[in-house]
Amino acid sequence: MDFAGMTDDRNHDMDVLVLAPFGKDATLIEKVLTSSGMNARAVSSIAEIIAATPEDSGTAIIAEEALHDQGIVELAQKLAAQPAWSDLPIIVLTGGGGSTAATEDSVRARAPLGNVNLLERPLRAATMISVVRSALAARRRQYEIRNHLHERKLAEEALRSARDTLESIVEERTAALRHLSAKLLRTQDDERRRIARELHDSLGQYLAAAKINLDTISVLQGEDQTCLIEIQHLIDLAIAETRTLSHLLNPPLLDVAGFASAASWYVSEFGKRSGITTKLEMPNDFPRLPMIVETALFRIMQEALTNVHRHSASPAVLVGLNADHTLATLTVTDYGKGIPKEVLDCFAQSGTNVGVGLAGIRERVKELDGQLELNSSPTGTIITARIPVIEPTDNVLAQAATGKLYSLAN
């Protein structure tokens, strides 16, 4: 073995495992590599190389006489089990001279080891150091890839954790907003009832008293009463408007007789006020429903008909009602100009970019864990609301915040 040209380069930190079972080759190789700044370590068997392979081993130098068939199989199995980033370089010390059949068989036998470099003996120190350095440099790049993959995995885990946290926060905030929206709608309904009672019991009574007094004055005075008659007419109009406003805010029929009676009255009055031809299709035995469901259906119908009057330019409108012990269905069909496609698309994706009416309908349906369908074309629009006939619980309201509660089609 020629050790001329040795250099002292102590920049390697990975183990170089040396297996040369005969003579002094292992000791000499270990000495040369150590003198060049490498962590060389002589081992006595294939088993030691197999045991050291998973750690920070850089390469293995193995004399070909140590590679018996069973050792090759066991080492090949260990190398095959390496992670994807790892490909441990193996340096095999071969005998000198020309190629023979035995040499070719030996080369083929080493094929399962994968990343193999041959180094012929007698060895020159400079050549061996160069080959080992190249193997260590390649191995170092493998460890850099390992570290990069590990860092990327940690980053991905951090991103997933952050995403999960954000999604959890969004879900909590969305549920909180749904609860707040439901509470606001219920508060709005309660306030409408209060205002309706005030209009009927306070302002309505004052107007009625004023009307009685004016009627009394008109009987007592026999002269020209043109001005008095005009005042009486204005008072009559004020009383009628107050009664209508009170009924629109909270129809007495809704509380007393139920949604079916309130819907019949409202659809009829809507036709008179708007000039739009109205039709109500409803079974004669339409049942009483839980108050919260009846109130929601009535407000949805109000909003839908108001939208028809304000935006559709429809000459007619059809209101359909149906219900059984599990589901109530309300359908409002107009024959107007329809809703623009971009508004429909935006409503389908986010429920935004629509008027207060449609947004209110959507929230009322969601509050009760129902389904809202909105179909529109240039020949008209159909709004269908389906609401379960149950008394909703806080759990139902919370679940309503996460479900898909409407569908949309053109």
Give the single-character DSSP code of 202. I
223 neighbors 166 (Cβ within 8 angstroms) = no
Sheet holding 90-94, edge to edge: 39-42, 15-19, 57-63, 90-94, 116-120
Report d(CA 302, CA 305) in Å as an integer. 5
> pLDDT value at position 4?
40
Give the pLDDT of residue 152. Answer: 92
Q: Which residue has the higher pLDDT, 301 or 358?
A: 301
Question: Could you say which of 98, 133, 150 is where a domain stops?
Answer: 150
User: Is residue 82 one of the residues assigned to a domain?
Assistant: yes
Predicted pLDDT at 54: 61
pLDDT band with cut points at 50, 70 and 90 for residue 308: very high
Q: How far is CA 406 from CA 83, 274, 325, 370, 373, in A?
A: 49, 29, 22, 8, 5
Judge if 262 and 377 occupy the same domain.
Answer: yes
Strand (E) or helix (H) holding 387: strand 380-388
- Chain-centre distance for alpha carbon 336: 36
Q: Pick the last residue of a domain from 121, 150, 179.
A: 150
pTM above 0.85, yes or no: no
392 and 261 both lie in a single domain: yes
For residue 75, the model assigns a pLDDT of 82
Last residue of a domain, one of 105, 121, 150: 150
Asked if pLDDT for residue 385 goes beyond 90, the answer is yes
CB 19 within 8 A of CB 62: yes
Mean local confidence (pLDDT), 152-167: 90
- The C-alpha atoms of residue 116 and residue 40 are separated, in whole angstroms, by 18
Residue 110's domain comprises 15-150
Task: Give the pLDDT of residue 409.
Answer: 34
Asked if the structure places residue 167 within a domain, the reply is no
CATH code of the domain in which 353 resides = 3.30.565.10
**144 and 19 within one domain:** yes
Q: What is the pLDDT of residues 255-274, one digit of tens each?
A: 788 889 889 988 998 899 88
Residue 96 lies in a domain: yes
Cα(7)–Cα(260) distance, integer angstroms:
101
pLDDT top residue among 197 and 327: 327
What confidence category does residue 157 fall into, taking pLDDT thresholds of 50, 70 and 90? very high
DSSP string covering 213-258: HHHHHHHH--S--HHHHHHHHHHHHHHHHHHHHHHHHS-HHHHHT-
- Same domain, yes or no: 268 and 393: yes
Q: Which burial class, exposed, middle or buried, applies to 182 when counting CB atoms under 10 A from its CB (0-12, 13-18, 19+)?
A: buried
Query: Does the residue 194 lie in any domain?
Result: no
pLDDT at 173 over 50: yes
Would you say residue 275 has pLDDT above 70?
yes
If one compares 400 and 19, the residue with the highest pLDDT of the two is 19
Tell me the mean pLDDT in the region 381-387: 94
Mean pLDDT for the chain overall: 78
State residue 49's pLDDT score: 83
Predicted confidence band of residue 55 (pLDDT cuts 50, 70, 90)? low
State the total domains in the chain. 2
Least trusted range by pLDDT, from 163-177, 179-193, 378-392: 179-193
Name the band, by pLDDT with cuts 50, 70 and 90, for residue 402: very low
- Examine the pLDDT at 388 and tell me if it is beyond 90: yes
Chain Cα centroid distance, residue 299? 31
Residue 9 has pLDDT above 50, yes or no: no
Q: Cα separation of 328 and 36, whole Å?
A: 87
Q: Are 266 and 405 contained in the same domain?
A: yes
Q: Which residues pair with 355 in a beta bridge?
A: none
Whether residue 392 lies inside any domain: the answer is yes
Q: Which of 109-123, 191-205, 321-335, 380-394 has the lowest average pLDDT? A: 191-205
141, 263: one domain: no
pLDDT exceeds cutoff 70 at 23: yes
Distance CA 278, CA 271 (A): 6
pLDDT of residue 204: 66
Say whether pLDDT at 400 is over 70: no
Dist. CA 297–CA 364, nearest whole Å = 9
* CATH classification of the domain holding 44: 3.40.50.2300
Instruction: Report the Cα 22 to chain-centroid distance in Å.
Output: 66
CA distance 40 to 26: 10
- For 131-182, give the secondary structure using H, E and C: HHHHHHHHHHHHHHHHHHHHHHHHHHHHHHHHHHHHHHHHHHHHHHHHHHHH
Most confident of 171-180, 229-238, 327-336: 327-336
The DSSP string of 295-357 is HHHHHHHHHHHHHIIIII--SEEEEEEEE-SSEEEEEEEE-SS---HHHHHHHHHHS-SS-HH
pLDDT (0 to 100) of residue 279: 94
Across 227-237, average pLDDT: 73
What are 316-353's pLDDT values in tens digits? 999 999 998 899 999 999 999 988 888 888 777 766 55
pLDDT band at 196 (very low <50, low <70, confident <90, very high): low
What gap in Å lies between CA 297 and CA 278, rounded to an integer?
Answer: 18
Strands 327-334 and 316-323: antiparallel
Residues 48, 75: contact at Cβ < 8 Å?
A: no
What gap in Å lies between CA 398 and CA 154, rounded to an integer?
34
- Please report, as a single letter, which amino acid is at residue 66: A
Q: Each residue of 96-152: pLDDT tens digit?
A: 544 445 445 555 555 666 678 888 888 888 988 999 999 999 988 988 998 999 999
pLDDT of residue 197: 67
pLDDT score recorded for residue 223: 60
With respect to residue 212, please indicate whether it lies within any of the assigned structural domains.
Answer: no
Q: Dig out the tokens for 51 from the structure.
A: 């045991």
Asked if residue 122 has a cis previous peptide bond (ω within 30° of 0), the answer is yes
